[in-house]
Amino acid sequence: MIRTFSESEFLFIVASARWTLLLTLLSLLLGGLLGFIVALARTSQLAPLRMLAAGWIGMIQGIPVLMLLFLSYYGLSMGGVDMPPIVAASVSMAIYASAYLGEIWRGSIQSVAWQQWEASAALAMSRAQQYRYVILPQAVRIAVAPTVGFIVQLVKNTSIVSIIGVVELARAGNLVNNATFAPFKVFGTVAATYFIICWPISLLARRLEGRLNARRSG
Amino acid sequence: MPVVQVEGVRKSFGAVEVLKGIDLTVERGEVIAIIGRSGSGKSTLLRCINGLEGIQAGSIEVSGHKLDASGRGLRELRKDVGIVFQSYNLFPHLRVGENIMLAPRVVLGVGKAEARQRAEEALAEVGLAERFEAWPDNLSGGQQQRVAIARSLAMKPKVMLFDEVTSALDPELTGEVLATMERLAEHGMTMLLVTHEMAFARRVATQTIFMHQGKVWEVGPSERLFGAPQTPELRQFLGTGLK
């Protein structure tokens, strides 16, 4: 029996966006933390740390997110670790995010002029103080735009976890479409919901960037 | 006891030896100018004195802190050595006052009120007391360089190093920075400066060192060095440098 695309179907789709949001948030927090460590390791003075971080970035960027997802969902459950799909999804998205954010932030740290390192070293600052007070505050400005660009990508890429049965936005659309055969309405709603999530993020980033730049020469 | 004692310092970049055994003593209150051609090793020597460049042999001692090839004791030494660079290198994300207060606060651990007082005094010393709240980007090159001097002064260093600090400035702005340095010298600051401003070196420096091919080629009271150079290399350098 074919159902019609009515209010309840519409609401079902929109409500499933909460899983998309939760997934984005979790992978961003976890991946951000890990990515920050990766970025610091990547710019470390210790060669083994740098190599380890470079290896991590290279490896994760060279593997499709889908494989990370399968590895953490099926792979770990084979090994006896039973994870609910949402956890497996968050973990794999976080790992994926850590490599990209790590690389973005490494670039941001390295685009701070080297003279800033020298000037702060000459003032007897420790390496940690240089990061904390001189390098990172400048790197953050540089990082805002590419980081937000990546977050928007992340929101959209969470659709991939529908494959292991998490009913987030994309999968909800698929389910409703199978029941209603109203693809234009269904996927129009899905697309609009993604847009409503992503657009404010871009907008916020532009304002943030403007404010950071205004502060500097204000 | 001398403020700076450099003994037998050797420094190489790869296979190229740029400092070939340097000895140098700076007494309290002395102003020493280091002159020489590009590539003579004069900037490298200055940068070795606060450990921005490591050394392969010899030793450097600044007010009791010894620096050798191992690099230990570096931060303690740097607390006593201020350096000003050709390219100012102010922290662009901090206001002028914050630029100056940062290191005293986080490195020396002085309180906010004292850090502020130090910053105000240092800014007054370089004649920029009214620019405390300004952003570095809004200052002229000469003003930025004077803020950089103030930022070093706020650490109350035992010696100040100046590495071609006017080379990026036009003549008008050069004048205001040199005047600031001359005032520092009059106030008794021990200073070591690498410079191409021969007239300034001659007038302000108590001693001048001529470096050539990685060695101290000629050294003496500035008046004598400029007035009666002993070596043909210095004569040639001054002959082409002064005209």
The domains found in chain B, sorted by start residue, are: 4-80+158-242 (3.40.50.300), 90-156 (no CATH)
A123, B155: Cβ pair inside 8 Å? yes
CA distance B135 to B94: 7
pLDDT of residue B96: 96
Closest by CA position to B59, among listed B1, B5, B16: B5
Assess B137–A contact: CB distance below 8 Å, yes or no.
yes
Cβ(B149)–Cβ(B180) under 8 Å? yes
Q: In the numeric block, which tokens belong to residue B11?
A: 């420094």
pLDDT of residue A150: 94
Mutate to test the interface with B, among A123, A134, A136, A140 (most CBs of B within 10 A): A123
A122, B151: Cβ pair inside 8 Å? no
Distance from CA of A48 to the nearest CA of B (A): 21
Q: In the numeric block, which tokens belong to residue B41?
A: 């090793």
Assess A213–B contact: CB distance below 8 Å, yes or no.
no
Q: In the numeric block, which tokens belong to residue B197?
A: 């401003």
Cβ(B87)–Cβ(B111) under 8 Å? no
- Name the residue of chain A whose CA is nearest to B100's CA: A123
pLDDT of residue A81: 81
- Name the residue of chain A whose CA is nearest to B109's CA: A125
Assess A122–B contact: CB distance below 8 Å, yes or no.
yes
Q: Please tell me which of the candidates A122, A133, A217 has its beta carbon nearest to residue B138.
A: A217
Looking at the predicted structure, is the pLDDT value of residue A79 above 90? no
Q: Which fold has domain A7-217?
A: MetI-like fold (1.10.3720)
Cα dihedral angle (B170, B171, B177, B180), rounded to 10 degrees? -170
B78, A141: Cβ pair inside 8 Å? no
Looking at the predicted structure, is the pLDDT value of residue A215 above 80? no
Closest by CA position to A56, among listed A87, A102, A92, A24: A102
Cβ(B7)–Cβ(B184) under 8 Å? no
Query: How would you class B227 by CB atoms within 10 Å of its CB: exposed for 0-12, middle for 13-18, buried for 19 or more?
Result: exposed
Distance from CA of B44 to the nearest CA of A (A): 14
CA distance A77 to A69: 12
Assess A125–B contact: CB distance below 8 Å, yes or no.
yes
- Indicate the SS3 state at residue A126: coil
Q: Please tell me which of the candidates B79, B87, B137 has its beta carbon nearest to residue A124.
A: B79
pLDDT of residue A77: 80
Please state, in angstroms and as integers, the Cα–Cα distance from residue B124 to each residue in A70, B95, B144, B179, following that order: 65, 16, 14, 14
A129, B107: Cβ pair inside 8 Å? yes
- Indicate the SS3 state at residue A162: helix
Strands (E), chain B: 4-13, 16-26, 31-36, 57-62, 65-67, 81-84, 159-163, 191-194, 207-212, 215-221
Neighbouring residues of B106: CB distance < 8 A, sequence distance ≥ 6: A125, A129, A133
DSSP at B137: G
Q: Please tell me which of the candidates B75, B89, B151 has its beta carbon nearest to residue A126.
A: B75
Q: In the numeric block, which tokens belong to residue B94?
A: 């901090």
Query: How would you class B182 by CB atoms within 10 Å of its CB: exposed for 0-12, middle for 13-18, buried for 19 or more?
Result: middle
Distance from CA of B20 to the nearest CA of A (A): 24
CA distance B7 to B25: 9
Spacing of C-alpha B94 from chain mean position: 23
Looking at the predicted structure, is the pLDDT value of residue A107 above 50? yes
What φ, ψ does residue B161 adopt, rounded to 5°?
A: -110, 135
Q: In what order do the strands lie in the sheet with B159-163?
A: B81-84, B159-163, B191-194, B31-36, B207-212, B215-221
Query: What residues of chain B score a pLDDT lower than 50?
Result: 241-243
Q: Please tell me which of the candidates A115, A116, A124 has its beta carbon nearest to residue B78.
A: A124
A125, B91: Cβ pair inside 8 Å? no
State the SS3 of B159-219. EEEEECCCCCCCHHHHHHHHHHHHHHHHCCCCEEEECCCHHHHHHHCCEEEEEECCEEEEE
Identify the weakest region by mean pLDDT among A124-138, A181-195, B227-241: B227-241
Neighbouring residues of B198: CB distance < 8 A, sequence distance ≥ 6: B35, B226, B238, B241, B242
A123, B93: Cβ pair inside 8 Å? no
Mean pLDDT for chain A overall: 91
For residue B92, the chain A residues in CB contact (below 8 A) are 138, 216
Q: Model confidence at A82, in pLDDT bands (50, 70, 90)?
A: confident
B91's enclosing H/E stretch is none
Assess B231–A contact: CB distance below 8 Å, yes or no.
no
Distance from CA of B135 to the nearest CA of A (A): 6
Assess A128–B contact: CB distance below 8 Å, yes or no.
no
Cβ(B128)–Cβ(B143) under 8 Å? yes
Q: In the numeric block, which tokens belong to residue A167?
A: 């009913």
Q: What Rg value do the Cα atoms of chain A yield, rounded?
A: 21
Burial A19-51 (b: 16+ CB within 10 A, else e): bbebbbebbbebbbebbeebbbbbbeeeeebee
Please state, in angstroms and as integers, the Cα–Cα distance from residue A101 to each residue in A40, A58, A69, A110, following that order: 11, 13, 18, 14
Looking at the predicted structure, is the pLDDT value of residue A217 above 80? no
For the complex shown, is ipTM > 0.95?
no
